[in-house]
Amino acid sequence: MDFKIKPVLKTISSSKAKILATEVINSAVIEDMAQNSNEYENITVIKTSNSGEVLSVSLAMCKINKLKSRINILIQKKFSELKENTFHIPFGTLLGWELFNGQGPEIPVKMSSSGSVNSDFKSEFSGAGINQTLHRVYLQVHARISVMLPGDSCVCETDSDILVSEVVIVGSTPQMCTGVAQKPSYPTHEYRQNNN
């Protein structure tokens, strides 16, 4: 019975822990955005020439590093505040038999979890029109969650990508844009007929 139940219990617990970690990450980012909304402005730095031509696109590293550090601390704090959770699994599901899946009395399972977090930023460019480029900055959060179960434990990992900045870069409009190939020109020949 123990051999049959443990794999199912680990699978369900890992799924619950990933959902919990995603909720913690999203909650921390939303909270930080609400309290420090001005920190998310002007993350992308665009340098232009005197004529308005875009020369370079970069990230404001001071803001990026402060943002990354602050969110890491906030997520880690929320992980440390996690309390013991109790969820219920139907007995038929614990047995691992498809015929009894979701059937039977609800068995309470206590789960204690703790986590660690690491984050980084990803920059992405994509076309948004003939002379427009869309620049997005994502906060990539990687969380590692340790789950303690009655008589067992497991570790699971989850990743979340959160959009923190989006800028449309407008370039110069091309003078002509066409996808029609020109007809090749052939030399013309003049034929003369000699009438004898």
What's the first-to-final CA gap in the chain, in angstroms? 113
Kindly state whether residue 129 falls inside one of the protein's structural domains.
yes
Kindly state whether residue 42 falls inside one of the protein's structural domains.
yes
* Cα-based distances in Å from 44 to 19, 40, 47, 175, 194: 31, 10, 10, 28, 76
Judged against a pLDDT cut of 60, whether residue 166 lies above it is answered with yes
pTM to 2 decimals?
A: 0.68
Confidence of residue 172 (pLDDT cuts 50, 70, 90): low
Kindly state whether residue 18 falls inside one of the protein's structural domains.
yes
CA–CA dist 11, 78 (Å, integer): 24
Kindly state whether residue 150 falls inside one of the protein's structural domains.
yes
Confidence of residue 102 (pLDDT cuts 50, 70, 90): confident
* Cα-based distances in Å from 41 to 44, 94, 165, 167, 182: 8, 49, 8, 10, 47
- In percent, how much of the chain has pLDDT > 70? 82
Judged against a pLDDT cut of 80, whether residue 114 lies above it is answered with no
Kindly state whether residue 126 falls inside one of the protein's structural domains.
yes
Number of independent structural domains in the chain: 1
Tokens of 179: 């996808």
> Domain range spanning residue 7?
2-170
Kindly state whether residue 175 falls inside one of the protein's structural domains.
no
Kindly state whether residue 91 falls inside one of the protein's structural domains.
yes
What is the per-residue pLDDT for 175? Answer: 53
Of 81-85, 94-98, 159-163, 165-169, the range with the highest mean pLDDT is: 159-163
Kindly state whether residue 7 falls inside one of the protein's structural domains.
yes
Residues in the chain: 196
